[in-house]
Amino acid sequence: MNTKRVEKLIHSLLLEMGEDPRREGLKKTPARVAQAYAFLTSGYGSNTRLVTNGAIFRSEANNMIVLRNITVYSLCEHHMLPFFGKCHIGYIAGGKVLGVSKLARIVQHFARRLQIQERLTSQIAHEVLDSCKAEGVGVVMECRHLCMMMRGVEQENSVMATSSVLGSFHRDAATRAEFLALITQRDNN
């Protein structure tokens, strides 16, 4: 991203809004916004192979592996407003397991782009499946969308849930049910 170009665009946007970009509170806003967008869209410049960084390990495990409550922040591609929430990932290893932090990094990789939640959920599921050649994968995402909360219908309590189930999670109702039961368990702390 050309942050200097983005700064100029934000400066022009402030003028269009009727603001004075030279006033004290806004002097550095174009630079701050450019840096923020560079970070929030850094998923375009990253590669999933670098994200997993070789942290894929041989394992005899063939049980379900679940990581719940991965915090997710992304930008809606329709309004460029944030959506945020939790992502839950489960998979059954096919001889290899991912380092646990790599699951969260995969979520971040795809979330740091202009997105729709439906596609984001699917991208995460497919990447986990492909990365460790899993027997099956389930991803559930629950997010609040500021484009719905702050504007339009102004539904501040709405939560959108999406899921993507692949392989054995798609074929086998018992596997899918086990995953859903595990992600809905309450924390004891």
Q: What is the pTM of this model?
A: 0.92
Q: What is the DSSP secondary structure assignment for residue 28, as one 8-state letter?
A: T
Whether residue 45 lies inside any domain: the answer is no
Whether residue 80 lies inside any domain: the answer is yes
Rg of the chain on CA atoms, in Å: 20
Whether residue 23 lies inside any domain: the answer is yes
Task: Report how far residue 111's alpha carbon sits from residue 43's, in angstroms, rounded to the nearest whole number.
Answer: 7
Whether residue 60 lies inside any domain: the answer is yes
pLDDT band at 189 (very low <50, low <70, confident <90, very high): low
Is 100 in a helix, a strand, or coil?
helix
The predicted model gives 122-150 an average pLDDT of 95
**Domain ranges, residue 15:** 3-40
The total of structural domains in the chain comes to 2
**153 and 68 share one domain:** yes
CATH code for position 147: 3.30.1130.10
Task: Report how far residue 18's alpha carbon sits from residue 150's, in angstroms, rounded to the nearest whole number.
Answer: 21
**26 and 79 share one domain:** no
CATH code for position 20: 1.10.286.10
**167 and 102 share one domain:** yes
Output the CA angle 61-67-72, nearest 5 degrees: 145
Q: What is the per-residue pLDDT across 81-126, written as a single tens digit (0 to 9) for each? A: 999 999 999 999 988 899 899 999 999 999 999 999 999 999 999 9
